[in-house]
Structure 1
């Protein structure tokens, strides 16, 4: 049986892993990156990503559920934007780390 403190740490670790897993899908990551420039409609995102509308909508639903993006409706269009400016900061930090370690990350076979 696990000690209560260690069980809480395990649950928190799983939550953090799920949070980062939310950005591990290339389409979800590209959606979030695209929204750094400002809000966009689903059709704009479909055009930017070159993906089908169903795929983009499914990924947006995931991103919205987990708190990366929010949406607003205007007529028949739904516009998405970054939900929290800290998401922008996380991506900026990730870009810096990747820039410093790109060759190693690219050649990593353990992930």
Structure 2
């Protein structure tokens, strides 16, 4: 999958599908918060619950998604599971995203399709 333009033809929608799936997986604020916490080191579900202030079932569901995407791995120790980032490149991606957000002045928040207002409207519609 080539996301950046280089020598050769432009990538097709099919070529970009894996990247779109990756970014969809990263599009949830809870999953991003989990990943952000895991950049600091391993964490158990109970640790993530404490940091995020969300239910155990929510944290577990998001961890399952991240594990299935190959972004997070679990290491059993006794009856506990310690989660960590599976790919160090993810730290680079998150740092690049923070840099891009800072450079654009967080303009994406104003986007009518994906910004903060659109997210609020989507939440109201789902009720």
Give your verdict on TM over 0.5: yes
Structure-1 residue corresponding to 2:42: 39
Secondary structure of 1:24 counterpart: coil
Matches within 5 A, 1:1-111: 9-111=12-114
Q: Any gaps of 5 or more consecutive residues in structure 2?
A: 1-8, 115-127
| Structure 1 residue 102, shift from structure 2 partner | 2.8
Structure 2 CA distance for aligned equivalents of residues 63 and 22 of structure 1: 7
| Structure 1 residue 12, shift from structure 2 partner | 2.2
**TM-score, scaled relative to structure 1:** 0.89
Structure 1 CA distance for aligned equivalents of residues 33 and 105 of structure 2: 18
| Structure 1 residue 110, shift from structure 2 partner | 2.7
- Structure 1 runs (4+) greater than 6 angstroms displaced: none
**TM-score, scaled relative to structure 2:** 0.78
